[in-house]
Amino acid sequence: MSTSITDPHGDLLDDLCRDLRSNAGKWESVSHWPGESLKRCGDAGVFRWFVQKEQHGFGWSDREQIEGYLRLAEADLVTTFVITQYMGAIRRIAASENQYVAERWLDRLMNGELFATVGISHLTTSRRHLKDPVLKAVEDHEGYRLVGMSPWVTGGAHADLLVVGATLQDGRQVLVAVPGDSEGLRAQPGCELVALSASCTDQVFFDQVRVDRSMVLGGPTENVLSTGVGARPGGLQTSTLAVGLSMAAAKYLEGEAVARSDLAEPAATLRGEITSLRDRLLSASDGQMAVDASQIRAEANRLVLRSTQAALMAAKGAGFVQGHPAGRWCQQALFFLVWSCPQPISHAHLCELTNVTPSLDLG
Ligand SMILES: Cc1cc2nc3c(=O)[nH]c(=O)nc-3n(C[C@H](O)[C@H](O)[C@H](O)COP(=O)(O)OP(=O)(O)OC[C@H]3O[C@@H](n4cnc5c(N)ncnc54)[C@H](O)[C@@H]3O)c2cc1C
C-alpha cells in the first residue's frame, strides 16, 4: 500500500504519474479496463482529493484539484477520464443531503474498494433534441421506477453504483443512486470508440428498475443538476484534461527538439501557450478574475488538437504506427470535440472548421 498523496506538489505525485504513464499504452480496447491503474490511484488516495475533510476526503481546493488532474491527464488520459466520471458520482453523493447513501457508500468508493459512475448527459448535452426523455422516472409508493436508457455511461458494466438522472412525466428531474446489480438494470460492456475505448463507455438500460426513496440524491425538481455544490456541469474539468494532454504532446516535442534544432522554436512556443492557458485555468479556479469558462474550453480544444498533431508531425511515420503515443494522443484529442461540449462552443468550432463567421464569438 503506497502512502497517500495529500498535496499536488510532492514526489509522491511524480511517482504515481510515472507508473500511470508506463501503463497508459495498455488501455486500448473495451477488454482493457484500466483497473490496475485505478487501484494504484485509489491506494495513493487520489479519490479523496475531491471530497471535503468533514467527509473524510483531503479537501483539496479547486486549484489543487486542477493541478492534480493536469498531472494525471498528462500521464494517462484514459484512467484520468474514468476518474472524472467516478468523481462525478462521488461528488454528487457527497454534495447531496442524503446521509443514508453517503454513510453506506462514500468511504468504500473513496478508498477504491467500489467503483461508481454517472449517467447524466441526457439531462445536459445528449439527446436534447428529442421530444421524449430517454430515461423516465415513474413515481410509486416506494420511490421511483426507472424506464429507458442512459446513452453514455463510462464503466457502467464495472460499476457497483450508478448515479443517474431521469425525467418525470411533468418534466421535473430526479438524481438517484442505483446499485449496479439492481434487477432490470443492464449495462452494456462498452463500445469501441475512436479513442478511450478502454473507458468501457456504453448505454445502460433500465427495465422498471426500482429505486427506493432512500436512494434519491436530488429532486424532483427542474434542472436537478444545477442543485448541489461541487457538482456543477460545464466547469473547468474538461478543459483541464485537454491542457493535460497538450502537456504530454509538448513534452514529447521538447524531447525531440534536443537533437533536432528545427523543432526548438515550435516546442518553446507551444510550451509558452500551454503555460499561459494553464495559468488562466488556475486563476479561474481561484476565482481571481472574471474568466469565461466557455472561452477557456474553446481555447483548450484548439490547443489540444494542434499540440497533439504537432507531436505527430515531429514523430513522422513512426508516430502513425499503432502503439506510438503521438498517434494515440491525436485520437484522444478528438474526444474533446464531443465530450460535454456545450452547444455554443461546438457551434463556434463548426463555424471555424467550415470558415463561417460564428454568430457568437468565443474567442
Ligand atoms: C467516450 C465518452 C464517454 C462519455 N462518458 C459519459 C459518462 O460517463 N456519463 C455521462 O453522463 N455522459 C458521458 N458522455 C456523454 C457526453 O458528455 C456527451 O453528452 C455526448 O458526447 C453527446 O453526444 P450525443 O451523440 O449523445 O449527442 P446528441 O445531441 O444526442 O447527438 C446524436 C445525434 O443526433 C443528431 N442530432 C443532434 N442534434 C440534433 C438536432 N438539434 N436536431 C436533429 N438531430 C440532431 C445527430 O445526428 C447526432 O449525431 C460520454 C461521451 C463519450 C464520447
Å from CA of 194 to ligand 1 middle? 14
Per-residue pLDDT of the chain (363 residues; tens, 9 = 90+): 568 999 999 899 999 999 999 999 999 999 999 999 999 999 999 999 999 999 999 999 999 999 999 999 999 999 999 999 999 999 999 999 999 999 999 999 999 999 999 999 999 888 888 889 999 999 999 999 999 999 999 999 999 999 999 999 999 999 999 999 999 999 999 999 999 999 999 999 999 999 999 999 999 999 999 876 444 544 799 999 999 999 999 999 999 999 999 999 999 999 999 999 999 999 999 886 667 888 999 999 999 999 999 999 999 999 999 999 999 999 999 999 999 888 888 898 899 999 998 765 554
* CB-ligand 1 contact for 193 (6 Å cutoff): yes
Topology of domain 11-110, per CATH?
Answer: Butyryl-Coa Dehydrogenase, subunit A; domain 1 (1.10.540)
201 strand-pairing partners: 154
- Residue 41: its H or E element: helix 35-43
* CB-ligand 1 contact for 126 (6 Å cutoff): yes
Nearest CA to ligand 1 atom 26: 126
356: how many CB neighbours lie within 10 A of its CB? 11
Domain ranges of the chain: 11-110, 118-226, 237-353
Give the global pTM.
0.96
Residue range 237-353, CATH number: 1.20.140.10
Maximum alpha-carbon separation in the chain: 72
Å from CA of 116 to ligand 1 middle? 21
Å from CA of 6 to ligand 1 middle? 35
pLDDT at residue 313, as a whole number: 98
**And the C-alpha cell for 264?**
526548438
| Per-residue burial over 97-126, b = 16 or more CB atoms within 10 Å of its CB, e = otherwise | ebeebbeebbeebbebebbbbbbbbbbebb
Angle CA(79)–CA(189)–CA(148) in degrees, nearest 5?
110
Closest ligand 1 atom number to CA of residue 155 = 8
**Strands annotated E in the chain:** 116-119, 135-139, 143-154, 161-167, 173-179, 185-187, 201-212, 216-221
Å from CA of 40 to ligand 1 middle? 31
Instruction: Mention every residue, 6+ apart, whose C-beta is less than 8 A from residue 190.
Output: 30, 33, 155, 157, 197, 198, 199, 200, 201, 202
Q: Which of 147, 144, 124, 125 is nearest to 136 (CA)?
A: 147
pLDDT at residue 231, as a whole number: 47
Class of domain 118-226 as given by CATH: mainly beta
pLDDT at residue 361, as a whole number: 53
Task: Quote the CA–CA distance of 158 and 349 in Å, as a whole number.
Answer: 34
Q: How far is CA 163 from CA 39, 105, 125, 178, 293, in A?
A: 21, 12, 17, 6, 25
**Strands annotated E in 213-248:** 216-221
Å from CA of 331 to ligand 1 middle? 18
* CB-ligand 1 contact for 173 (6 Å cutoff): no
Q: In 3-state terms, the chain is what percent helix, strand and coil (to 5)?
A: 55, 15, 30
pLDDT at residue 233, as a whole number: 41
Nearest CA to ligand 1 atom 42: 129
Taking the C-alpha atoms of 330, 331, 334 and 338 in order, what is their torsion angle to the nearest 10 degrees?
A: -160
Task: Quote the CA–CA distance of 332 and 315 in Å, as a whole number.
Answer: 16
Closest ligand 1 atom number to CA of residue 125 = 19
* CB-ligand 1 contact for 338 (6 Å cutoff): yes
pLDDT at residue 358, as a whole number: 74
Instruction: Mention every residue, 6+ apart, whose C-beta is less than 8 A from residue 282.
Output: 63, 66, 67
CA 206 to chain centre: 23
* CB-ligand 1 contact for 125 (6 Å cutoff): yes
pLDDT at residue 227, as a whole number: 78
* CB-ligand 1 contact for 119 (6 Å cutoff): yes
Å from CA of 280 to ligand 1 middle? 28
DSSP 246-262: HHHHHHHHHHHHTT-GG
Q: Which of 84, 342, 302, 327 is nearest to 195 (CA)?
A: 327
Nearest CA to ligand 1 atom 40: 129
Å from CA of 125 to ligand 1 middle? 6
CA 24 to chain centre: 16
Q: What are phi and psi of 13, to 5 degrees?
A: -70, -35
Å from CA of 121 to ligand 1 middle? 7
